[in-house]
Amino acid sequence: VGSHLLYQLTTNNNPVRAIYRNKNKLALTKKIFSYYSENPDILFNKIDWVEADLLDIPILTEAFKGITHVYHAAAFVSFEPDKYHLLRKTNIEGTANIVNISIANKIEKLCYVSSVATIGSATSKDPLNELTLWNPEADNSVYSITKYGAEMEVWRGTQEGLDAVIVNPGVIIGPGIWNYGSGNIFKKVYNGLPFYTKGVTGYVGIEDVVLPMIKLMESPIKNERFILVSENWPYKQFIDKIATSLTVKAPSKT
């Protein structure tokens, strides 16, 4: 999300400062820029890049100087229970640092990228919405637990005077790095996925994530969250669509 957001912000001629953890991430960002532009270096070089880590408070504080609006899209994604403590450090503690420094620097507005994974579980046939309550007794993944904890840090910040909005995207689809995130689904289908996974989930295009984020930050809306989902598809329908588009064989069994 962060790289696509940076492209849109620089295209709109917004002055941008962005933090990165290592130089490999810069190369990945430039690659994503190249999907949109024949001259990615022009926009890429407009960005004021700062090497920092969400857990390194002194460097992070320095990066916030002169900033008025903050987009927080960084996260660690894993559904493996043994990664729980690392997920907590990055997703909850890292977000708490962003919130605290935003308050200290009187940031005008924060936009946090959460996930539909933090929306409560369905208790009826009614669709889930932004007001659906989190169910701590449900079989929540370690990822969703820590993203929910991160949201709580943002809401805590709003009680301390910070204006903020949260977006909760579904599975994000768009040009990206095919070894990571939802892009890896395309790679697996291309290489021959042996079976379908049962279930249904919500999908959204990357532009339908970053453009609403920018609009929300430019609007007077504050202290609300927004689910960003275009359509709910069964996994089978989604995988079949990918296989057809890539002209490869779809899985034959569930």
Query: What share of the chain has pLDDT > 70, as a percent?
Result: 99
Domain contains 218: yes
Q: Strand order in 171-173's β-sheet?
A: 171-173, 200-205, 231-234
Q: Tell me the mean pLDDT in the region 217-222.
A: 98
Domain contains 183: no
DSSP-H helix ranges across the chain: 2-11, 23-36, 40-44, 57-63, 84-87, 94-104, 142-159, 183-192, 207-218, 235-246
User: Which pLDDT score is estimated for 124?
Assistant: 64
pTM: 0.92
User: Which pLDDT score is estimated for 123?
Assistant: 66
Domain contains 189: no
Strand partners, 163: none
Domain contains 31: no
Domain contains 185: no
Residue owning tokens 């295009």: 205
- The overall average pLDDT reported for the chain is 92
CATH number, domain with residue 137: 3.40.50.720
Per-residue confidence band for 125, with pLDDT thresholds at 50, 70 and 90: confident
Grouping H, G, I as helix, E, B as strand and the rest as coil, residue 232 is: strand
Residues 27-75: pLDDT tens digits?
Answer: 999 999 999 999 999 999 999 999 999 999 999 999 999 999 999 999 9
Domain contains 254: no
Q: Tell me the mean pLDDT in the region 210-239.
A: 95
Grouping H, G, I as helix, E, B as strand and the rest as coil, residue 128 is: coil
User: Which pLDDT score is estimated for 128?
Assistant: 87
Q: In terms of Cα–Cα distance, which of 25, 76, 75 is closest to 49?
A: 25
User: Which pLDDT score is estimated for 22?
Assistant: 86
Residues 2-20: pLDDT tens digits?
Answer: 999 999 999 998 899 999 9
Domain contains 133: yes
The total number of structural domains in the chain stands at 1
Domain span including residue 210: 52-170+206-228
Mean pLDDT: which of 74-88, 189-203, 234-248 is highest?
A: 74-88
More confident residue, 197 or 117: 117
User: Which pLDDT score is estimated for 122?
Assistant: 67
Residues 132-181: pLDDT tens digits?
Answer: 889 888 889 999 999 999 999 999 999 999 999 999 999 999 887 777 77
Domain contains 29: no
